[in-house]
Structure 1
């Protein structure tokens, strides 16, 4: 789906973001994988409207634009994807941190005070059970192996994850992918992401259904 298109209100929206180039990552594996998701029939198979976005490695952009994306799309699920030079598997992050952002972004900037959201908790956890997602991926016939992580690394990946968790921790995930062809191709990563997204969406739908019943 085009990045500027409006989403029909009748369909649940899943927003998936990847990052643009930075440092040695002239081609960012996260966005290369995310770009392939529309070709894997997520919309048909999951009954959703898929929106993909490229996020620049820029603290200021994340700080201003991520809340706007939430407001614009009112997503059922948000999945941020980033690249890690240390990752060898599809790495499912469980939490993000508010402090310690001292590494320069592509504009040579850091957030004021090294903080993501002033006055917010030091740590926020996703309500999505990443261990179930990990097991789903690893039990599948997909070539990609997944693992769990508790530290997204205090750079833009951590920063964007915390920013979205601060909006609604019940429907946010972050996935780190390896550098392309070390060992997975962009297509393999996209196929692994599709499986992970399907499991995440199922959890969010189940939880929302439970909450609606509890309110009756």
Structure 2
């Protein structure tokens, strides 16, 4: 019997912006790529610049290039103290300038789309799996991804396929988690999410 084709997973992190000369999201995603997810999982990672134009163009390109079973965007949050699983994203309200000093047209992600999109992945179940695992990290669920590049990127992916898209906020490095601990949290999250993706 032929071996099953590997499940393609795409994980993205963001580049530097504001006070974050080193963005823990990209550091964690790079660290994740060094960890075994399983022989049946083919992981691809990508860094996204913190600007709306790049995010708007790159996200659909990643979907088209990889046709992933799951895409997980990761961003840093200065108010997060746990692995924070975002359940939904917003289409409007993007009035904070990106690293190039720009905002999207009409402060909107996808013109004419609905105001909010909810991931088909139940983040409460993912949260439970992470918290029940014997690891050093804790997770929680959030309903507000922040109306900046994180929220924007998430909405863009959800507008393509909400059944296979997720967003995770991580704290800045060493507040409290190391890059290795963040990567382990991402690993546990991805494995939990894949249980729900058909």
Fold equivalence (TM over 0.5)? yes
Cα distance in 2 for residues equivalent to 1:69 and 1:37: 18
Alignment partner, residue 186 of structure 1: 179
CA RMSD, aligned part only?
1.0
Q: Which has the higher helix share?
A: 1
Aligned to 2:80: 87
Q: Does 1:127 align with 2:152?
A: no
Which of the residues 42, 53, 71 maps onto 1:78? 71
Q: Find runs of 4+ consecutive structure 1 residues off by over 4 angstroms.
A: none
What is the distance in 2 between the residues matched to 1:152 and 1:185?
A: 22
Of 11, 14, 30, which residue of structure 2 is paired with 1:16? 11
Residue 194 of structure 1: how far off its partner (Å): 0.2
Shift, 1:39, TM fit:
1.5
What SS does structure 2 have at the residue aligned with 1:108? coil
- Which of the residues 32, 38, 41 maps onto 1:48? 41
Unaligned segments of structure 2, at least 5 residues: none
TM-score (structure 2 length as normaliser): 0.97
Tell whether the 8 Å contact from 1:43 to 1:50 is kept in structure 2 after alignment: no
Q: CA deviation at 1:43?
A: 4.2
In structure 1, stretches of 5+ residues that fail to align are 1-8, 209-216
Give the 3-state SS of the residue equivalent to 2:137 in structure 1.
coil
**Residue pairs, 1:164-175, within 5 angstroms:** 164-175=157-168
Q: Distance in 2 between matches of 1:184 and 1:10?
A: 34
> What CA distance in whole angstroms lies between the structure 1 residues aligned with 2:109 and 2:91?
5
